[in-house]
Structure 1
Amino acid sequence: MKTVHESLTVVIPAFNAEKTILSSIMSAQRVGASRVIVVDDGSTDNTRDLVATTDVLLISQNNMGASNARYKGLELVETEYVVFLDADDYLVYDGVARSIEILNKNIHYCVVAGKVQQIYKERVIRTTSTAVVPLTTVGLLRVGFSAWPPGAAVIRKKAILEAAALDIGFLNTRFAEDYEMFIRLSVIGRFFQHERVSLVYQLQGGKSTTNTELAIESKEAIRRFYSQALGVPLNETSSARIRLSSAMKQLRSVKLGGGVLSKMLAYKNVGTALVATMANKLFHPKKTHENVDVHLWLTGQDENIGDSLLRRPLLDLARSYGLVSIYTGKASRNFLSGLCLHGHELLNKSFIKWLLIVLSSRGGIVFVNAGEMKVSGKGSLKILLLVSASTLTRKKIVWLGASCFGGRASFLPVYRWLATKSTALYFRDQETAELLGNGRTMPDWAFSIDSPNNVDKNRRYLSLVIRSDRPRPSAEWVAWVKDSALKLDLKIVLVVQVLRDNTLYEWFEENFDDGVVVPFEGTTSHLAQEALVREVFSESLIVIGDRLHGLIVGATEGAVPLGWVESSSGKIARHFSHLNFESTYQHEGDSAANYPVLDSSSVDQMRLALSEMIVSSKNELSLLVSGLSKRLDADV
C-alpha cells in the first residue's frame, strides 16, 4: 500500500456494477484514500453484496441517478478533498498524488485533474492530451461537454459545497450530471490539469454510449440552462447537429467492438444525419458580412491578460451599434476568452479579409484599436488602407483609448491622418495627443470594468506585479517592501499577469522566503487568469509594480496602486497623471532609498483618494460613451 492520503475520500456511485465495482474500489484503496464510500443507487444485481465483502462504507438508496448518489456520499465526506469515481473506472496513484500536491500548494485551484487513459476490453485506445476543453465556465458552455470524466479530478470539498449552494437551481438531467457539476464548480474557482495519468476510463458500457442522443440532448439542455442563468451568450445547437453528434459517437463505439451489420447501420445513421445537417445550414444560413454595420480592430499581446481585458469594454461599446466584424490577428483561444466574444460575431485573423468586409457596405462605424500602438511601417500601412476604405465607403472612424509610442518619425504622418479623420478621438495619455497634434485624454478602458468581488474583504496581501524585461529591483527595494509588509501585517504575493513574467519565480523565492506566487500557466485562458488576479487583488491592501494593468486592475479591486519601481520609465505617470492620483507615480523611477515606509495612516489616506479617483474615472468614461452615442446616432 502506498502513502495514505489523509486528506482524500473517494465516493463511488454505483448502479448494477457487479462486473467492475471491486476493481474500482481496489483502485481507490491503492491511491491511498483514507476513506472509500460506495453509494448503491438501487442496483438490481449483486453490486451491494460484493461491496459488503469489503471494508468500505456502503450506503444504499432507491435509484435516483448518479448526481444524487454523489451528493449523498458527499454528506459523509470529512476530508479536504474528494474524488467522484464512476463504478467502471480506475484511479492511478501517480496522477492522483500529483493532483493533491498541486492543490496543497495552490489555494486558488478548486479542481485539479490529470490525463485520462481510455481503454476498451483492457486494450489502451489512447491517452487524452491536456487542456482538451477550455478550463473556464465560458469554455465549458461553448464546447458543450465536460473537461474530463469525474474520476480524473480531485476536488476541494469546500468548493463542491459552494457550487451546490449557488443561487442557481440544479437542472438534474439523467445524463451528463458530471458536466453540470463541473460547470457549477467553474463558477466557484479555478481548474488545472497536469501531465500525469490519473484515471483509466472504460470507453464502452456506460449509459452515455448506449443512449448517445439522450446524453447529447441532456448536455444541450444544461448548456441552455446555465448560459441563461450566467449570462453567457451561446449559439443554439440544431436538432440535426445533435443527431449527427449522436451518430458519430455510436460509430466510434461500434468500430471498437461491433459486428459488420452494426457498423453498416452506424455508417448509414452518420450519412443520414450529415445530410440533415447540411440541409439545415443551407436553409438556415448564418448572418454574413452583408448584415455588418460595425467593424472593430482588436489585436493585442497574446501573453498579456491586460491586453484582452482593456479591449473588452471597447467591444461592448461597438456591440451597441450593431453586428460586429472583428480583426483579431493571430490571437489564441486563450486571448480571445478575455474578450468574452459572442458566437454570432465575425472574427478575422487576416487584416485583408477584414478590410474586404469593411469595403463591402456603405455607412457604419469603424472602431480603431485601443491600448498601445507602436508607430511602425507595418502599422502605418494598415492604417493607410483602413482610412482609405472607410473614407471610400463613408464610414465614421472612432479611435478611443489608444496610446502611440516609439518607431520612426517618418511614419507619424499616417497616424496623424487617422487622428484627423476620426469622428471621436480620445487617448489614454496626454503625450499621444501631443504627438499626433489632436485629441483629448480619457481614463484607460480597464477602469470601466466593475469588480466581480466583494471589495470589503479582509485585506491581507501586499501584491507585487513586476516586469521581467527590466533589471531586477535592488536589495534596498526588497528591504522597503518587506518593511512595509511587516508594518502593515501583510503577506507578500507575486502576481503574474504576463506569461514571460513567470521567470521572476527564482528572484522572488530568493528574496521573499515566505512569499506566495500566483503563476500564469501557459494553458490558462485570459479570462480565468484575470478572475484569479482580481480575486487576489480584492484581498490586497496595496499593489506595487510597473505593470500598468496590474495597477489598474488592483485599483478597481480596491487596492492602492503604487508604481514605485526603480527601473520604471515613466509609463505609469503617463497614464495616471491626468487622473489626479499622484500617489501612484510619486516615486516611479526613484531610488528606493527615497521611498517612505508605508504605514496604516498613509495607506488610509491613499485609499480615500483612490475611491474618489475610481468614481471619477468611471463617470468620465460613462459620459464619453453617452456623448459618443449622441454624436453618432444621427449618422448611423
Structure 2
Amino acid sequence: MNTRTAQDVFINLGGQDDNLGDSALRAAYYEAARGEGTRFHILLENRSSDYVTGLPLDPADLIYTKRSAWVAASDAASRPVQLFEAGEINPRGRAFPVESVAAPLRRSVDSGGLVIVAGMGLKDPSTVDPACFDSVLRDAAVVSWRDAGSRDAAGFGDVAPDWAFALGAPTADWADRGGRPLLAVTLRFDRPWPDDAWLVAVRALATQTSTRIVTVAQVARDAPRAVRLAEALGGEYLVAASTRHSDLDAHVRDVYSRSLVVISDRAHGLIIGATEGAYPIGSAADPQKISRLLAAADLGSLVSSYDRMPDAAAELESKLPELGPAVDKARASVVELGQRIRSAMSAVS
C-alpha cells in the first residue's frame, strides 16, 4: 500500500431505511474493512437520520448523498478500493450488477484499484442464472457469500456467515438460563399470518421453558403485526424508545439478552437474537432464506415452516448448549474474512 497518502475506500452503506438488520450487517462490514491509512467514501443516498444512527461512522469519513458525486470521486481517486455492497440481491435473470454500477467498478480495477465482494446473498438461488454475474464480480480480489446456497447458485466465491454475527455481546458475557425469563417473537408484516396450531405451539413452548412471551419489531413496518401477535399469544409488545436505529438496536439487544429463545421469520431477528444468547427458532411460511443464513453458522436445525413449530419446541432443550460454540465459530469466520479484506487492500500499491 502507498503509505504516503490515505487509501481511498468506497462503500455504499444504504439499505432499507426502517430495517435494523440492514444497518447492522453494513455496520459490521464497514468496521471489518477499516484500517490504518484508509479514507472512506460512503454513499448514503436517500437515507434518513434514523438509519444513519445505526452506523459507526468516523468524523473523517466523506459522506455522499448522490451516487453521481460518489462515482466521480471514485473515478478521480488513485487506485481506489471498491467494497461492493453487502446484503440481499435479486438479479431476476438480468445482468448483475447493471452496467451503470459495473462500469465504475471496472474503471477502479483498470486504474490499479480493486473490488471486494463480501457478505452478499441471493434472495432465491433457484431463480438465478449464474451467467448473469459480471466478470468484475467474478474476478474480485475477495468474493464471499453469506450462505452456501447463494455461492452454489452463482458458481464462484466462498462462504462466511452474515456480517451481523460479528456484533453483539461476547458469549462469555451472556446471561445464563436463570437470567432469561423471556421468549421473544417477531414476524414479518408481509407474510401469511400463522394458524391457530402455531399460536398454541408457541404458548406451549413458553410454558415448557417457564418463560414469558414478548414481541418486538426490528422493522418499523412489522410493528402492527407485533402488536397483534402479543394479543394473540397473551404476551406483551415491547416498543423501542424511538425509530432511530441506535435506539432500536439497543432495545432489541436488551430484549434478546433476557430471552431464552427468539422465534422469527426475519433473518436478522434470528441472527441478532443469537448473538445476544437467545436460541434462534426460525419459523416461516417460506423458510428457505432464513434456513440458508442460519445454516452458514451451524444454527439451521430449528428452522422450518409454521407447521413444524411443535417439532422445534421438542428439540430445543438438546440444542441450547450448541448456541455459544456456533456463534463463536461464526464470529471467527467473519473475523477471518475481515483479515482477508484488509490483506487484499494492503496489497494495492
Q: Tell whether the structures are fold-level matches, with TM greater than 0.5.
A: yes
Match of 2:63 in 1: 347
- Further displaced range: 449-458 or 417-426: 449-458
Find the aligned partners of 1:402 and 1:421 in 2 and give their Cα distance.
Answer: 15
Match of 1:235 in 2: none
Find the aligned partners of 2:281 and 2:63 in 1 and give their Cα distance.
Answer: 37
RMSD after superposition = 2.6
Post-superposition offset of 1:506: 4.8
- Further displaced range: 433-442 or 414-423: 414-423
Post-superposition offset of 1:627: 3.1
Find the aligned partners of 1:505 and 1:355 in 2 and give their Cα distance.
Answer: 40
Match of 1:474 in 2: 195
* Aligned with 2:110 (options 392, 407, 410): 392
Find the aligned partners of 2:312 and 2:12 in 1 and give their Cα distance.
Answer: 44
| Aligned ranges 1:557-596 → 2 under 5 Å | 557-565=276-284, 567-585=285-303, 588-589=304-305, 591-592=307-308, 595-596=310-311
Give identity over the alignment, percent. Answer: 26
Give the match's secondary structure for 1:541: strand
Find the aligned partners of 2:194 and 2:97 in 1 and give their Cα distance.
Answer: 34
Post-superposition offset of 1:435: 2.7
Does 1:538 pair with 2:257? yes
- What are the superposed Cα offsets for residues 202-223 of structure 1, whole Å, 9 maximum, x if unpaired? xxxxxxxxxxxxxxxxxxxxxx
Judging changes above 3 Å, is the alpha-carbon distance between structure 1 residues 292 and 579 closer, same or farther for their aligned structure 2 residues? closer
Does 1:299 pair with 2:14? yes
Post-superposition offset of 1:411: 8.9
The answer to whether the Cα contact below 8 Å between 1:402 and 1:426 also exists between their aligned partners in 2 is: yes
Judging changes above 3 Å, is the alpha-carbon distance between structure 1 residues 382 and 318 closer, same or farther for their aligned structure 2 residues? farther
Give the match's secondary structure for 1:325: strand
Match of 1:518 in 2: 238
Find the aligned partners of 1:375 and 1:626 in 2 and give their Cα distance.
Answer: 29
Post-superposition offset of 1:493: 0.6
Post-superposition offset of 1:568: 2.8
Find the aligned partners of 2:230 and 2:175 in 1 and give their Cα distance.
Answer: 30
Give the match's secondary structure for 1:311: helix
Give the match's secondary structure for 2:104: helix
Find the aligned partners of 1:371 and 1:417 in 2 and give their Cα distance.
Answer: 19
Find the aligned partners of 2:107 and 2:283 in 1 and give their Cα distance.
Answer: 44
Does 1:616 pair with 2:337? no
Post-superposition offset of 1:384: 1.9
Match of 2:228 in 1: 507
* Aligned with 2:181 (options 460, 464, 476): 460
Find the aligned partners of 1:440 and 1:625 in 2 and give their Cα distance.
Answer: 14
The answer to whether the Cα contact below 8 Å between 1:466 and 1:546 also exists between their aligned partners in 2 is: yes
Match of 1:438 in 2: 156
Match of 1:72 in 2: none
Post-superposition offset of 1:605: 2.7
Higher alpha-carbon Rg:
1
Find the aligned partners of 2:325 and 2:217 in 1 and give their Cα distance.
Answer: 27
Judging changes above 3 Å, is the alpha-carbon distance between structure 1 residues 382 and 465 closer, same or farther for their aligned structure 2 residues? farther
What is the one-letter code of the residue matched to 1:553?
I
Post-superposition offset of 1:582: 3.5
Find the aligned partners of 1:346 and 1:414 in 2 and give their Cα distance.
Answer: 32
What is the one-letter code of the residue matched to 1:455?
W
What is the one-letter code of the residue matched to 1:575?
L
What is the one-letter code of the residue matched to 1:374?
N
The answer to whether the Cα contact below 8 Å between 1:534 and 1:554 also exists between their aligned partners in 2 is: yes
Judging changes above 3 Å, is the alpha-carbon distance between structure 1 residues 491 and 403 closer, same or farther for their aligned structure 2 residues? same
Post-superposition offset of 1:590: 5.1
Give the match's secondary structure for 2:295: helix
Judging changes above 3 Å, is the alpha-carbon distance between structure 1 residues 323 and 349 closer, same or farther for their aligned structure 2 residues? same
Match of 1:485 in 2: 206
Match of 2:40 in 1: 324
Match of 1:554 in 2: 273
The answer to whether the Cα contact below 8 Å between 2:42 and 2:61 also exists between their aligned partners in 1 is: yes
* Aligned with 1:629 (options 326, 330, 342): 342
Post-superposition offset of 1:396: 0.9
The answer to whether the Cα contact below 8 Å between 2:198 and 2:306 also exists between their aligned partners in 1 is: no
Find the aligned partners of 1:395 and 1:414 in 2 and give their Cα distance.
Answer: 24
Does 1:358 pair with 2:74? yes
Match of 1:529 in 2: 248
The answer to whether the Cα contact below 8 Å between 1:416 and 1:436 also exists between their aligned partners in 2 is: no
Find the aligned partners of 1:316 and 1:386 in 2 and give their Cα distance.
Answer: 23
Give the match's secondary structure for 2:305: coil
Post-superposition offset of 1:482: 0.5
Judging changes above 3 Å, is the alpha-carbon distance between structure 1 residues 388 and 564 closer, same or farther for their aligned structure 2 residues? same
What is the one-letter code of the residue matched to 2:286?
S
Find the aligned partners of 2:312 and 2:76 in 1 and give their Cα distance.
Answer: 60
The answer to whether the Cα contact below 8 Å between 1:387 and 1:421 also exists between their aligned partners in 2 is: no
Judging changes above 3 Å, is the alpha-carbon distance between structure 1 residues 414 and 568 closer, same or farther for their aligned structure 2 residues? closer
- Further displaced range: 364-373 or 444-453: 444-453
Give the match's secondary structure for 1:340: coil
Give the match's secondary structure for 1:580: coil
What is the one-letter code of the residue matched to 2:12?
W
Find the aligned partners of 1:478 and 1:632 in 2 and give their Cα distance.
Answer: 50
Structure 2, gaps ≥5 residues long: none
Match of 2:143 in 1: 425
* Aligned with 1:598 (options 301, 306, 313): 313
What is the one-letter code of the residue matched to 2:163?
W
Does 1:451 pair with 2:180? no
Post-superposition offset of 1:315: 0.9
| Aligned ranges 1:215-254 → 2 under 5 Å | none
The answer to whether the Cα contact below 8 Å between 1:497 and 1:520 also exists between their aligned partners in 2 is: no
| Aligned ranges 1:149-164 → 2 under 5 Å | none
- What are the superposed Cα offsets for residues 99-133 of structure 1, whole Å, 9 maximum, x if unpaired? xxxxxxxxxxxxxxxxxxxxxxxxxxxxxxxxxxx
TM-score (norm 2): 0.89
The one of the two structures with greater contact order (alpha-carbon pairs below 8 A, sep at least 6) is 2
Judging changes above 3 Å, is the alpha-carbon distance between structure 1 residues 382 and 317 closer, same or farther for their aligned structure 2 residues? farther
Judging changes above 3 Å, is the alpha-carbon distance between structure 1 residues 374 and 349 closer, same or farther for their aligned structure 2 residues? farther
The answer to whether the Cα contact below 8 Å between 2:115 and 2:140 also exists between their aligned partners in 1 is: yes
TM-score (norm 1): 0.50
The answer to whether the Cα contact below 8 Å between 2:187 and 2:226 also exists between their aligned partners in 1 is: no
- Further displaced range: 548-557 or 614-623: 614-623
Query: How many residues are treated as equivalent by the alignment?
Result: 339
Post-superposition offset of 1:410: 9.7
Match of 1:278 in 2: none
The answer to whether the Cα contact below 8 Å between 1:325 and 1:348 also exists between their aligned partners in 2 is: yes
What is the one-letter code of the residue matched to 1:516?
E
